Structure 1
Amino acid sequence: MQIERIRIRNFRAFRDVEMLHIPRLVTMVGANGTGKSSLFSVFGFLRDAMNTNVRTALVKLGGSRGFHEVRSRNCDGPIELEVAYRIRPRQPLVSYSVSINLDRSGKPIVEREILRYRRGEHGKPWHFLDFKRGKGYAVTNEITEVKKAADLDREEQETLKSPDLLAIKGLAQFERFPAVVALGNLIERWHVSDFHISRARVEPEAGYAEHLSREGENLALVIEYLHDNHPKVFSTIKNALQKRVPGITQVESKQTEEGRVLLKFQDEAFADPFLARHISDGTIKMLAYLTLLYDPDPHPLLCVEEPENQLYPTLLEELVEEFRAYGQKGGQVLISTHSPDFLNAAHLEEVFWLQKHGGYTTIHRASDNQQVAAYMADGGRMGHLWKQGFFKGVEPEG
């Protein structure tokens, strides 16, 4: 999957913004408060809304005020989100849009929900799902099988049991709606990282985990799973960690008699291994990123905030290359950073910057700035240009 366009209206700092021509690797910069985290929240919100409902997802994001806290300040009208993507290269561009508003009693509802795809640059898009306030239709055809509008097999659906449910939540459970199933599978597998090193140090109860969780508290379980089920992947992760952290010769998970799983690191200078709670922050974080990047069943989308924290600056260029390689293998990575060293490894077309005007955020693509593009063509590096003030309205952290 590759997301190519995002449209956001009335969502936190985004009054009305659109990101176009989104590459496999996106690096975003901006001052604190410009909305980098809010952009990632769009993906987390859609995933949470699909797993639960819109009302619960709004409360998770905005607290007790829910909709009123998430909707842009001093703005009326619905929250509107649209994501346009291709499941595979050269397949039709698919777009999913959802509009969220309040009913007469002040409760959040799904006002409109549409899944459509465009056959060409100028063709009228066909709707594969169209719901208004919980009632509508879905198409049972495969997207790639439809040649003309008359071939669309629309199936009217009964009203959803609650107006705050997404139609894709229910319909994605049925194989006869392949376009909806494909979208549901993608959203469920998005990974929006909110990694906490302290959470990754915990000694979890024995269990089973194939993928790193959002906060990383199951890191020991995932390492155990990879060691037992994907030894080649585990060896790749271990070797990559050894290159970045001097002295580390082994990583392993061990289960105690009390049913806890311990994450241990062996340093060549010492006979006894170190437990995760005694290892450096940078080592834990690097292991977590490598676990994400070499996942045998990778996520279609990774969102990672400030990966440079706790990592030595010289390691960042290699990390950027690994994020880029993840995208080249079919995934997509969105990163926010405050590090010129990290940005120096980014390509011109991969960089966007966020800027606030009158309380609302705008998004700028570096390649659209002729001066920045000219300096990069002459061998400039993006982090140096940022520090020299070429990103209008953006200042790097002190």
Structure 2
Amino acid sequence: MKIESIRLKNYKTFRDVHLTDIPPFLVVVGANGAGKSTLFDVFGFLHDCLKGNVRQALDKRGRFREVLSRGVPENESILIEIQYRMPITNVERLVTYSLEIAEQDGLPFVKREVLRYKRGRYGSPYRFLDFTNGAGFAITNEEDFHQPDESLDREHQTVAPDTLAIKGLGQFERFKAANAFRQLIESWHVSDFHITAARGRKEAAGDSEHLSETGDNLPRVALYLHERYPEKFQEILQIMAHRVPGISRIEPRLMDDGYLTLRFQDGSFKTPFLDRYVSDGTIKMFAYLVLLHDPHPHPLLCVEEPENQLYPKLMTELAEEFRLYSTRGQVLVSTHSPDFLNALQLEEVCWLVKKDGATEIRRAKDDAQIARYMSEGDQLGYLWKQGFFEGADPQ
């Protein structure tokens, strides 16, 4: 499953943008406040809507009027539209999920929620889920492609006006497209890694199969990999030994008091030491490798500014790690690092430009001058520093 395009209207700084032809690995650059975090927050917002409801997700962000673009009339709505490819009846099909949110009498509600795709090569996309203000229908036999459109079974349902229809219907296998999109939202990962949260002793019980958004379960995930996927864990250790001088071994250990901790072995010392004595960069690199070498990768991975606390010369190898991951799951990264950009290809980069309070998205591959310089052997990081990413610098 791969996201092909994102359209945002009236979502914070994005008054009306449409990012198309999204590659498996995309890196976003731009000045502070240009909208990089907001772009990633769209995925977090949908995830929060699914965990709770639209009202709770908006409250977390300051309520509807704080999420609605500034200067837009209050009776306008917020639109989020995502197109993604998924296999249906053994054919890759382009599915569109459209969510429109409005407010009435101070209460947010789902004005329209639609899930659609083409059943055949020709014709318009067919709506397999269509809800307005809490009422609508979903198709239960959408894979019966030999049936004419009028013969499809529509199951009419009602949900709370501030609840996504895919939250309830997506639990059932009979709603194929809704179920697949719900799984996509539930399994994507928007990283909010904190080194302080990753350090120290951790309780042995808890989530251990995937690294959490903050990284606070790093010792548990390391132990899980060490015990269940020893070859994968050894691969991570080999990369660490190559990229972090001195580190020869990392051991997740269950202590006598029942808590887990990480112990690092430096080749210069006989005794391993606890993670609280290890540099921030070492902890962060290990956490990224654990995330990127997950045996069951996330379909979408979003990481903001991975260069923080890491040595600049590691940027090329880190970019390659993200690119390798993108062969298993899609990756979106934001950065301020020219060294990281220097490791990227033309089609992998876009930048954000803020004009009159609204954000625009520009692609490096669409800029003739940048493309020409790249064809002559230049690198994107140097071009960015020299001001060729027009509008990307703070004004």
Taking structure 1 as the reference length, what is the TM-score of the superposition? 0.94
Q: 1:73 aligns with which of 67, 70, 75?
A: 70
Partner residue of 1:187?
Answer: 185
Distance 1:147 1:93 in 2: 20
TM-superposed deviation, 1:378? 1.5
User: Cα offset for 1:347?
Assistant: 0.7
Aligned partner of 2:172 in structure 1 is: 174
Aligned position for 1:128: 128
Q: Indicate the residue corresponding to 2:390 in structure 1.
A: 392
State the distance in 2 between where 1:271 and 1:198 align. 26
Alignment-derived partner of residue 354 in structure 2: 356
Deviation at 1:176, TM superposition (A): 1.2
The aligned amino acid for 1:337 is T
How far is the alpha carbon of 1:202 from its aligned partner? Answer: 3.2
CA distance in 2, matches of 1:144, 1:306: 45
Cα 1:83–1:257 shift into 2, 3 Å: same
Task: Return closer, same or farther for 1:218/1:389 CA change in 2, 3 Å cut-off.
Answer: same
1:357 partner amino acid: K
Matched residues in 1 for 2:170 and 2:12: separation?
28
SS at match of 2:362: strand
Q: Which residue of 2 aligns with 1:203?
A: 201
- Structure 1 residue 123 displacement after superposition: 2.7
1:99 alignment counterpart: 100
Aligned residue in 1 for 2:377: 379
Contact 1:91 1:144 (C-alpha < 8 Å) held by counterparts: no
Query: Which residue does 1:271 correspond to in 2?
Result: 270
Residue correspondence of structure 1 range 214-229 to structure 2 within 5 A? 214-229=213-228
Question: 1:22 aligns to what?
Answer: 22
- Give the gaps of 5 or more residues in structure 1: none
- Name the CA shift for 1:367/1:147 in 2 (closer, same or farther; >3 Å): farther
The CA deviation at 1:146 is: 6.1
Q: CA deviation at 1:195?
A: 0.5
Q: State the shift of 1:150 in Å.
A: 3.9
Q: Which of 329, 332, 336 matches 2:330?
A: 332
Structure 2 CA distance, aligned partners of 1:349 and 1:334?
13
C-alpha change, 1:392 and 1:298, in structure 2 (3 Å) is: same
Cα pair 1:143 1:179 within 8 Å, conserved:
no
The one-letter code matched in structure 1 to 2:133 is: R
Q: Which amino acid aligns with 1:285?
A: K
CA contact (8 A) 1:387 1:396 kept: no
- Match of 1:91, SS state, is strand
Amino acid in the other structure paired with 1:30:
G
User: Offset of 1:240 from its aligned partner?
Assistant: 1.1
Displacement of 1:257 in angstroms is 2.6
User: Is residue 263–residue 275 contact of structure 2 (8 Å, CA) maintained in 1?
Assistant: yes
The alignment yields a C-alpha RMSD, in angstroms, of 1.8
Q: Structure 2: which amino acid aligns with 1:101?
A: A
Per the alignment, do residues 151 and 272 of structure 1 end up closer, same or farther by CA in structure 2, a change over 3 Å counting?
farther
Q: Which runs of 5+ in 2 are unaligned?
A: none
- Give 1:142 shift: 4.7
Distance in 2 (CA, whole Å) between partners of 1:87 and 1:315 is 34
